[in-house]
Structure 1
């Protein structure tokens, strides 16, 4: 027999966690690093699969702040799925460095505990990222190649 109150609590928690992740991503987009910082657990791990893991809320926030004014982040969330403490995102991320705009597809896995993000793991195709970088560089002299969301 299933306890329906646990199911509804779990569904509510899943929805809350999904909103937390979306709030986090949009805070990064808006350079609202105080909000982003408040949504990360102290011991968070940020993994871009295939690259070194960055550990710790303070370290990650410092990295975000160091790019302020030099780099811009934009996100378009296509899908969000959540079950319990795990949230999956399918999205397009944009990194802008001056006139160079790099736009690429990302699948993210987030784990949350006590309402804060403890794991942020992004998967993306490195070749696709490299092609996006080349396109971004070529779009500087040829603006018609500049990607848009």
Structure 2
């Protein structure tokens, strides 16, 4: 039995907060499409993990779900994604994410919408 769509997304956020790349990868479908709008999307699990690597390099991660809702297999989140990189204080990126969960309980599509300038200020 697979977890419900909201539980899958909550597990993803928890894995980020632990900086657990293996758990994150395990929640992604083999052919996942991950897009940080306005950036180009990553196609497939390996490409998605490569795209996420700079974020997972943070010394600490504290993603906070401000709102979450589901309509069938589609989950919407409003988040405050906080990072602390070595030698820096906490930074924050506000994001709205849409996740499509497949029949195996894995993330088949992930689209995050955010302000690119805010992201650039947050990253070292």
Is the shorter-chain TM-score for this pair beyond 0.5, marking a shared fold?
yes
The alignment's TM-score, normalised by the length of structure 2, stands at: 0.81
Deviates most, 59-68 or 76-85: 59-68
Structure 2 unaligned spans of 5+: none
Distance 2:53 2:118 in 1: 27
Distance 1:129 1:66 in 2: 12
- SS of alignment partner, residue 121 of structure 1: strand
Instruction: Say whether residues 1:17 and 2:5 are aligned partners.
Output: yes
Query: Paired residue for 1:47?
Result: 35
Could you say if the C-alpha distance between residues 54 and 76 of structure 1 is closer, same or farther in structure 2, counting changes exceeding 3 Å? same
Q: Which of 80, 104, 108 is the matching residue for 1:118?
A: 108
* Root mean square deviation, CA, Å: 2.6
Residues 1-149 of structure 1 aligned to structure 2 (within 5 Å): 16-64=4-52, 68=56, 70-71=57-58, 72-98=60-86, 99-114=88-103, 115-129=105-119, 133=121
Distance 2:17 2:89 in 1: 17
- SS of alignment partner, residue 73 of structure 1: strand
- SS of alignment partner, residue 110 of structure 1: strand
Structure ranking higher in strand proportion: 2
The higher relative CO (CA closer than 8 Å, separation ≥ 6) is in: 2
- SS of alignment partner, residue 92 of structure 1: strand
The alignment's TM-score, normalised by the length of structure 1, stands at: 0.69
